[in-house]
Structures are given as structure tokens and as C-alpha cells.
Chain A
Amino acid sequence: VAGTVRLIARLDLKMDFLIKGVHLEGWRKVGDPSKFARRYYVAGIDELIYIDVVASLYERNNLSEIVRRAAEEVFIPITAGGGIRRPSDVKSLLAVGADKVAINTGATLDPDLLARISDTYGSQATVLSIEAKRSPNGEWEAMADNGRNHTGRDVIRWAAEGARRGAGEILLTSIDRDGTGRGLDLDLVSAVTREVDIPVIASGGVGRVEHLVEGVTKGGASAVAMARALHYNQVTIAEARAALDRAGIAVRLPEETPS
């Protein structure tokens, strides 16, 4: 993998709360997302991803407010997703300080949405979020609405189509591994990174620093997202960075602690 590998904190949100589930289900409250964002920023995280998991059921004012607050005190890239159906949804999130938006369900319903968003805001702001579930036949299906609904789309083909339609990056979440701490689905990650020439963020299953390393060396991921492992202090950002560095993977150099 060329360039530095990014360590990303993924913050799943329900209303005003940071939450975490297993297999994108059984969500539990973790705490105040602002406190966690601030903590990860000070500890040297490279990027933040916010996903509003119930966005399709409620108004998204919560997400905008949370992003706005984060953007005022956290000076690293912020991706926001959940319930994006039209370019105007993107405009309102970018206006409060998001750098990128992640789109899953909206794109599976209307793949041209990716092109309309990237034409207006640039592919660098357009992240295709894919929630992958392994089928009994060994292939992966892209799921919509946080794993609740089937799309019938094959993940590998969908990733290629998304890149062709203007996505600048793919957030690839394994539903099977999410929240388990058993490690990334390396078969899934490597199948997608081989297929597309845009960066892939591997998500779902990181429980130990070794999982990060193999996500890059075996999976070919350009970035790895962590949620549970960070929220519950199973892995610290300093340990994660040191492990990648020891494995010969280029990472961002730590600066002095932000004030």
C-alpha cells in the first residue's frame, strides 16, 4: 500500500448518543460522542467517521449538530453518513464541517446518486459505504439500512460500480465481524482492494493491533476503522500506531498533544 495508512475512529450514533452493537444489531449506549471524539483527537487519531444508524427513521438534525460541534474542536478529517438520499443532504453536512459523506442505502436505491454527489462536491468528498454480509455460497451481499435489508448486490461488483460512478473511497464494513473483535474479514477486504483502484477503509472486527497490521499487509487496506476496540480501551491509538510502524507500514508521525 502506497502512502501512509490511516487509523480511523468510527462513531456510530443514535440520536445524541455514541452507541455500539454486534453485527450492526443490539446497540448499546457508550456515551457522549463529543467526549470520545475529543479523546481520540488528543490521542492522535487520523480521522473520524460518524454514522447515524437510525437516520432513515428520524430527522438528521442530531448528526449535523454533532458534526458541527466536532468540527469546532477537532482538526482532522471528518466523514458523516446515515440517511443521505439527495445532494442537498450532502450540502448541509459539508456546511457544518464534514469533509466527506458516506452513502450506503441511498446509493443502492439510486446508484446515480454517487455521480451527482461527486460531480457537485468532488469524488474526494464521496465515500461509498458498503455493509457486506457473507452469503451461504461464500460470496458477499451488500446490505442496506444498517444490515436490515437485502439489496441483492454482489459486494465486489458493487464496489467496482461505485468507483466507476465517482466514489473516491470505499468504507467496507463486514457485518459478520462487526463488534466481535475477531479480526477483519481479510478475504472480503483483499477481494475489494484488488478490484478497485481507489482507497478502501476496512471496518468491522478489529480487536487487537495484529488485526490492523494484517488488514494492510494481507487485505491491502489504505485505512482501518476501529470502534469497539477504541471505545472500550482494548486498543490504544499509540499502540496501534506503534504496531503498524513495527510492521514496516508508514503511518502519520505523532505530533505534540493538541491543546
Chain B
Amino acid sequence: LSIREAVVVDYDIGNVFSVCNALRHVGCVPILTGEHAKIAHAERLVLPGVGAFGKAMQELGRRGLLEPIRTFCATGRPFLGICVGMQVLMQRSTELGEHAGIGLLQGSVERIPSKVDGTPLKVPHIGWSRLLLPDGAPGDRWVDTVFAQFAASRHSFYFVHSYEARPMHRTDILAEVDYGGHRIVAAVQRGNMAGVQFHPERSGVAGQRMLRHFIAM
């Protein structure tokens, strides 16, 4: 069996420590780097991120990492964005002003509404939520994706965020969760590019199963 490697993009944002720990725990060798060539030619790529969207884009831009990430995504090899690392796949965000994203998926990132049908929602959304199939998606939506081994409404993952992705194309939505009657996009996927709003590295056994599946892709 060959040793599985994952390049983890190092851009001084988010706790890459936890992501690398979790990858190691599932038998993967994480390669934490900001080197353009290593990112563009990775076997598989993980883009972590916590904090503000604008700050993440600024740090990626300042380090010249946007092109290597685009190059990688065009290769068809597996890509996983986590939290803000998923949000930056979108075209723009309204978090603390207007910010452009990488734009590989159409749509925006907006603040979670503070009210749904008159009922207040606490923002940020913090906690473990059950992964659901997107509203209206076919039952086989998760086949051949990072959620291939999961059944809908059976597995909880840890979320902590105030902003949510709103993909323009519903087919880009891979999973949702229910937050007080409001549907939040929990994961996106188009081709080889996947992104999760939750933190698999902090989601216990369920998160590890997902990561194990990702590194086997």
C-alpha cells in the first residue's frame, strides 16, 4: 500500500495543527506548505481556514497562492476546503465589507439570518448538526463523494460559523443542515472540488471517517 499524502495549504490562517493531527490519525502524511509548486502538483490538496473571509483571501493573495490552487483544481485531483477554505471557493462574501473569492463556484457567502419566521437564531451557529441531503437532491447524491459512507440524518459534525455559502447552482450543494428551521449549506462539490462548512478535524469519529474517505480518493 502506498503512503497517502495530502498537501495542506499553509497561509498562517486557522489551526492547521488540528487538521494535520487529524490527517495523521487516519493514516495520512500531511505536508504543510506554502510552496506554489508543491500545491499545484499535490496528490490531493486541503485548504483549511478559520476567521474572516477577507483576511483569508488577503493572505492567499499576498502569498501568490490563488493561481497554484486554481491550477491544482483544474487537474481533477481531490480538493477539500474546510470552513473558510470552503467559502473562498465562492465568488464573493459580504463578511466585513465586500470581498472577492476564488470564484471556482458561482454564488456568494452571506451572514446567517438572525431570525427565521420570527424565531431568533443565535449567530454564530456553533454546535453539532446532522448532515442532510440537499433539499430536492436525488438519494444517490453522496455516491462517489466524501460522504459515500454516510447515511442522511445519521451523522453529526461540528460547525462554528456566522456566514454561510449560497451557491447559485443547487447541483453544487452536497449537503445541508437544519438550524432552527433554516437550511444551511454544509458542503459543496463540483467534480473534484469539495468543501465542507464544518470541521472534520473536530468532528470526532464521523470527521475521521470522512477524512479517511478523502485520503482514499
Q: In the complex where A71-B17, A258-B205 touch, is A124 in contact with B126 (Cβ < 8 A)?
A: yes
CB 8 Å contact bits of B48-92 with A (1 = contact, 0 = none):
001110000000000000000000000000000000000000000
User: In this complex, what residue of A is CB-closest to B114?
Assistant: A197
- Which of B50, B122, B154, B156 contacts A2 (CB under 8 A)? B122
With most chain A CB atoms within 10 A of its CB, the pick from B52, B116, B155, B161 is: B52
Nearest 7 Cβ contacts at the A-B interface:
A2-B180, A252-B128, A122-B51, A252-B156, A255-B205, A124-B160, A4-B127
Q: Which residues of B contact A168 (CB under 8 A)?
A: 124, 126, 160, 162
Interface range on chain A (Cβ under 8 Å from partner)? 35 or more
Q: How far is the CA of A4 from the CA of B207 in the complex (A)?
A: 17
Interface check B190, CB cutoff 8 A? no
Min CB–CB distance A6 → chain B (angstroms): 5
Asked if A3 contacts B127 (CB within 8 A), the reply is yes
Q: In the complex where A252-B128, A255-B205 touch, is A97 in contact with B21 (Cβ < 8 A)?
A: yes
Q: How far is the CA of A44 from the CA of B204 in the complex (A)?
A: 9
- Which of B114, B120, B161 contacts A124 (CB under 8 A)? B161
Q: In the complex where A2-B179, A3-B180 touch, is A197 in contact with B50 (Cβ < 8 A)?
A: no
Interface check B15, CB cutoff 8 A? yes
Q: Which residues of A contact B206 (CB under 8 A)?
A: 255
User: In this complex, what residue of A is CB-closest to B156?
Assistant: A252
Asked if B207 contacts A75 (CB within 8 A), the reply is yes
User: In this complex, what residue of A is CB-closest to B123?
Assistant: A197
Q: Which residues of A contact B128 (CB under 8 A)?
A: 4, 6, 46, 251-252
Q: Which residues of A contact B119 (CB under 8 A)?
A: 2
CB 8 Å contact bits of B174-195 with A (1 = contact, 0 = none):
0000011110000000000000
- Which of B125, B204, B208 contacts A3 (CB under 8 A)? B125
Q: Which residues of B contact A6 (CB under 8 A)?
A: 126-128
Residues of A90-110 contacting chain B, CB below 8 A: 94-99
With most chain B CB atoms within 10 A of its CB, the pick from A3, A75, A122, A253 is: A75
Q: Which residues of A contact B156 (CB under 8 A)?
A: 4, 252-253, 255
Q: Which residues of A contact B17 (CB under 8 A)?
A: 71, 95-97
Q: Which residues of B contact A71 (CB under 8 A)?
A: 17-18, 21
Interface check A123, CB cutoff 8 A? yes
Q: Which residues of A contact B21 (CB under 8 A)?
A: 71-72, 75, 97
Asked if B162 contacts A123 (CB within 8 A), the reply is yes
Q: Which residues of B contact A124 (CB under 8 A)?
A: 50-51, 124, 126, 160-162
Interface check A256, CB cutoff 8 A? yes
Chain B interface mostly: mixed
Min CB–CB distance A46 → chain B (angstroms): 6
Asked if A125 contacts B125 (CB within 8 A), the reply is no
Asked if A5 contacts B127 (CB within 8 A), the reply is yes
Q: In the complex where A6-B127, A75-B22, A222-B126 touch, is A94 in contact with B204 (Cβ < 8 A)?
A: no
Residues of B149-170 contacting chain A, CB below 8 A: 154-156, 158, 160-162
Interface check A131, CB cutoff 8 A? no
CB 8 Å contact bits of A120-135 with B (1 = contact, 0 = none):
1111110000000000
Q: Which residues of A contact B122 (CB under 8 A)?
A: 1-3, 197-199, 222
Q: Which residues of B contact A3 (CB under 8 A)?
A: 122, 125-127, 129, 179-180
Min CB–CB distance B31 → chain A (angstroms): 18
Interface check B36, CB cutoff 8 A? no
Interface check A113, CB cutoff 8 A? no
Min CB–CB distance A232 → chain B (angstroms): 24
Min CB–CB distance B210 → chain A (angstroms): 11
Q: Which residues of B contact A238 (CB under 8 A)?
A: none
Min CB–CB distance A77 → chain B (angstroms): 5
User: In this complex, what residue of A is CB-closest to B125?
Assistant: A3
- Which of B125, B155, B158, B202 contacts A253 (CB under 8 A)? B155
Min CB–CB distance B206 → chain A (angstroms): 5
Interface check A76, CB cutoff 8 A? yes
CB 8 Å contact bits of A232-259 with B (1 = contact, 0 = none):
0000000000000000000111011110
